[in-house]
Amino acid sequence: MKADAVVIGAGIHGCSVALHLARSGIVPVVFEQSHPGRHASGVNAGGVRRLGRHFSEIPLSVAAMKLWWNIRDLVDDDCGFESSGQVKVAESEAEFELLKSRVKKLEMDGYEHEEIITRSELKIRIPAISDHCHGAIICHGDGQAKPFRTVRAFYAAAKHAGARFFPDQVVDSIKRTGQTWKVTTRDFSCEAPLLINCAGAWGNQIAALLDEQVPLEPTALMLMISERLPHFCTPVVGATQRTLSFKQFSNGTVLIGGGLQGYVDMSRQQGHVDIDQLAINARTARDIFPLMEKARIVRCWAGIEGVTPDQIPVISPSSTYPDAYHVFGFSAHGFQLGPITGRIISDLVNHQSTELPIEDFSIDRF
């Protein structure tokens, strides 16, 4: 078969790239080794945050946030997005100083989305928070969304725009002849002038087929969910120097995660939980919310994510071939960036430039 482009991987980034390309008139074929949203994009914590971003990611995150606030305009679905705010608490005076100096640096760079709140302001906003917390950064306008629903909304919108998806098709060979890419799976072969690698934790394997080496570490990030509790927390809450992402859903259940790792089995595409590590996460949640002491955990899982050494993604033209792009390695915080990467790639393909700064995400840096 022939197409205008081949996208490898149907996570949030592959679906976003497919959507933005198709709407610009470049109709892609998307090969997915499993089904759209099967991996990190469909099983993550759904945190939609600018808060705490690496400075290189902030312009992209701010641009993505504007798309999230009007996400229905983009994909005809609200993706379960709620602008509930995000908070990062300081558990000591030293941590509070760290947060204050971060906000000062952000302000010097012209960003105002992160604000310091004092201990008493924090307590008014979240009365259930432990008394040992000294204050926090708050980011109004950040929030949370439903991950699987989001990636399926991007998938449906991309399909509606003309993209053709082929699930259960592992891309195992990529060849370039003249100006054409030939991408092969078990059942299909597709020729196209353009190739986009959105293969998530497998992104370095695809890059290697283009003679590019990226030291990507596959990790199994874990999450757990509590039984239903009376409502006590509206924003998503994180910690400063401990691993925590904590949110209460409208049905009362609480999602606890933040980046502790289980075990990865890449050959079976499976992540497995490490109960001892989960217990560390549970203790952090209990320390910051003492009322969690008696809460029962009802479910836990691990999702596979690719982490780069500097923990920022690869969003980059290939360094070895023309007409090929990489979008992978989001290192545990790529869900929020999903809506914007498709626009970036569409701009690069159609206009050979993007208004957003992506130099720090170059594949050359490894």
Ligand X SMILES: Cc1cc2nc3c(=O)[nH]c(=O)nc-3n(C[C@H](O)[C@H](O)[C@H](O)COP(=O)(O)OP(=O)(O)OC[C@H]3O[C@@H](n4cnc5c(N)ncnc54)[C@H](O)[C@@H]3O)c2cc1C
Of 81 and 202, CB closest to ligand X = 202
Distance (Å, whole) CA 173 – CA 13: 21
Cβ-proximal residues to 124 (8 Å cutoff; 6+ apart), any chain: none
CB of 114 to ligand X, least distance (A): 16
CB of 210 to ligand X, least distance (A): 13
Q: For 97, phi and psi rounded to 5 degrees?
A: -65, -40
Distance (Å, whole) CA 363 – CA 366: 6
Of 47 and 317, CB closest to ligand X = 47
**Nearest C-alpha neighbor of 24 from the set 190, 163, 150, 154:** 163
Q: Are 297 and 224 in contact (CB under 8 A)?
A: yes
Q: For residue 219, list its beta bridge partners.
A: 305
CB of 305 to ligand X, least distance (A): 4
Which residues of the shown chain bind ligand X in the complex (CB under 6 A)? 8-14, 31-34, 38-41, 43-47, 170-171, 198-202, 221, 223, 245, 257, 303, 305, 328, 330, 332-336
Q: For residue 89, list its beta bridge partners.
A: 136, 239
The conformation of residue 321, written as its DSSP 8-state character, comes to S
CB of 118 to ligand X, least distance (A): 26
CB of 125 to ligand X, least distance (A): 20
Distance (Å, whole) CA 246 – CA 233: 9
CB of 206 to ligand X, least distance (A): 6
Q: Are 6 and 190 in contact (CB under 8 A)?
A: yes
- Please give the full DSSP string across 190-204, using - where no structure is assigned: EEES-EEE--GGGHH
Of 196 and 199, CB closest to ligand X = 199
Of 120 and 267, CB closest to ligand X = 267
Of 24 and 185, CB closest to ligand X = 185
Distance (Å, whole) CA 164 – CA 32: 11
Of 96 and 335, CB closest to ligand X = 335
Of 202 and 361, CB closest to ligand X = 202
Residue of closest CB approach to ligand X: 11
**Nearest C-alpha neighbor of 200 from the set 327, 303, 60:** 327
Q: Are 292 and 236 in contact (CB under 8 A)?
A: no
Q: Are 176 and 279 in contact (CB under 8 A)?
A: no
CB of 190 to ligand X, least distance (A): 12
Of 31 and 361, CB closest to ligand X = 31
What's the one-letter identity of residue 364? D
CB of 41 to ligand X, least distance (A): 3
CB of 91 to ligand X, least distance (A): 21
Distance (Å, whole) CA 304 – CA 41: 9
Of 200 and 339, CB closest to ligand X = 200
